[in-house]
Amino acid sequence: MTTAEKSPPQQRSVRVVLMALLIAIMLAMLDNMIIGTAMPTIVGELGGIEHLSWVVTAYTLATAASTPIWGKVGDMYGRKGAFLSSIVIFLVGSALSGLSQDMGQLIGFRVVQGLGAGGLMVGVMAIIGDLIPPRERGRYQGMMAAVMAVAMIGGPTVGGFITDHWGWRWTFYINLPLGAVAFAMVTAVLHLPKRERPKGRIDYLGAALLTAGITAIVLVTTWGGTEYAWGSATIVGLTVVGVLALAAFLHVETRAEEPVMPLHIFRSRNFSLMSVIGFMIGFVMFGGTLYLPLFQQAVQGASATNSGLLLLPMLLSMMVVSLVAGRITTNTGRYKAFPIVGGALMVVGMFLLSQMDTGTTRLTSGLYMALLGAGMGFLMQITMLVAQNSVELKDMGVASSTTTLFRTLGSSFGVALMGAVFTQQVRDEMAARGDGAAGGAVQESAQLTAESMAALSEPAREAYQFAVAAGTNASFLIGAAVSVIALVAALFVREVPLRGGPATPAEAPAGGPTAADPAGRANQAGDQAGDQAGEERPAPVAT
């Protein structure tokens, strides 16, 4: 049954499910942004400032490590059950975090919360992949981009309001009613078609090796240059552990009966390219959103609150472009141009941002950010859409989780590499200018607070502003170089017809989706030589 043929009650049911899924996305994205503004208050009550970074690191590690496992569990045992389980674990972790009596408890409960969060985004993407054919999926891209934009803009503001008026514990408790609504809506309305479960057991050894490798990599990118020097025994040792664990993981996956990340999905050229592009998007997006507000505060004189609002040009551009690209994809079935245009706009946007200096106006920087946002808008949802369209339906979960994992790892590398370049550039610039007072403050931290800057003399403050401009220039040049890789990858994407929509005779391969058979009896994995064997696909419904 096509979308057009669904009865009004069915359409309403699909909308209810999508609303629940969007709430889940909001929960996953809002959490760290809300918690960030509450951290000073949390430390003031619980103490343990030396462990402060672990409140975020523990959550990030648990999320990254559990992401691929949730995808495989959903493929093997059912996406609805896996998704509901992730919501429950996330809410339990949220409740326990709010009840924490010391920093050790909070860090431990954040691990529980992160384990659930790893399944939220993957579950959303995989369920949408089951519920809505790729050809129709584009129209919902704008909705997901809007939720992400709201979370990124509103998170710090909401966190500050809740902390000031209700107390920091409510930054965790606020998840409970939202999660309960999403759980109830999904339970009552979502019914996906039953599939034959694989007979093998989940690959526990592979899951353990992948978890160890991801954990080591994230710790290297989180601690390198901050907690420990890049050449320290800790960072070198973690790097060795990460490389060996991932090498062993690849070896195990070639022999596992039900691998946690089937390597055959990378035989699809489009899927491999989307993984690369997703990594680069994470690198640029999270690195950019971290250092743009710093430039606006230190160089352009914006307040902490206003610097978040000044990201609106980038986020609104990303949302609008994602919506338009999704509509065009739905109406035409064409998408190859979008990764190319998006990659080009990212290169241009990051390069222009790298040219900003102390004289750059907010209007000019806003225009540059809008270009960068447009580039990401063309890429963000298209990468998931093409990745899901490139694999068999039985691998929808691992395809979604793998794409999400690459984006997560990209963000970790982006923050680490751009941060290392920024910090070194700022310190070198301050040393070259020879200002002892400011130089001493910068040696403690290259990111000075508003209070620290106010305490500097006027010459020292100006020197620091020039140094921050130089640091962001260097960081954004790294982002521009990475964006070139995304652009090159996009040039090699093959436009394989999307499942679930009408195709012309020239587009539709034998057994592929047609206007008469929009579900498609053969699952078009498409772009690899000798297409992957398909399976009959019953049309999923939400009733």
Task: Output 430 or 399, whichever has higher pLDDT.
Answer: 399
Residue 439 DSSP code: H
Tell me, what's the pLDDT at 430? 79
Domain 1-200: state its class: mainly alpha
Q: Tell me the pLDDT tens digit for each residue of 412-444.
A: 888 788 888 888 888 888 777 665 555 555 555
Element (H, E) at 233: helix 233-253
Domain residues of the chain, as ranges?
1-200, 204-256, 264-495, 506-543
492: pLDDT confidence band, cut at 50, 70 and 90? very high
- pLDDT at res. 517: 36
Residue 86: HSE in the Cβ half-sphere, 13 Å Cα cutoff:
34
Confidence category of residue 308, pLDDT binned at 50, 70, 90: low
Average pLDDT for 77-103: 92
pLDDT at 10 over 80: no
CA 228 to chain centre: 26
H-state helical runs in 299-395: 304-309, 312-332, 337-353, 362-389
The total of other beta-carbon atoms located within 10 Å of residue 328's CB is: 16
Residue 59 amino acid letter: Y
Top pLDDT among 393 and 511 is at 393
DSSP codes, 500-519? TS---TTTPPTTS--SS-TT
CA dihedral sign of residues 375, 33, 403, 540 = negative
Distance (Å, whole) CA 87 – CA 324: 31
- Please check whether residue 277 is in contact with residue 339, taking contact to mean a CB–CB distance below 8 angstroms: yes
Q: Backbone phi, then psi, for 541, in 5-degree steps?
A: -135, 160
CA distances, 60 to each of 118, 445, 448, 456 (Å): 9, 23, 25, 35
pLDDT of 495: 87
Give tens-digit pLDDT for 444-488: 555 555 556 656 667 777 888 888 888 889 999 999 999 999 999
Interacting residues of 430 by C-beta distance below 8 A, sequence separation 6+: 438, 439, 442, 463, 464, 467
Select from 28, 34, 122, 110 the least CA-distant residue to 74. Answer: 122
Residue 88 in this model has a pLDDT that exceeds 90: yes
Confirm or reject CATH 3.30.460.80 for domain 264-495, answering yes or no: no
Task: Give the three-state DSSP class for 180.
Answer: helix
Tens digit of each residue's pLDDT (9 = 90 or more) over 34-84: 776 677 788 778 876 667 678 877 888 888 888 888 988 888 888 889 999
Residue 347: pLDDT over 90: yes
* Residue 7 exposed, middle or buried by CB count within 10 Å (0-12, 13-18, 19+): exposed
Is the pLDDT assigned to residue 298 strictly greater than 50?
Answer: yes
Q: What's the pTM?
A: 0.78
Retrieve residue 298's tokens.
Answer: 């230190």
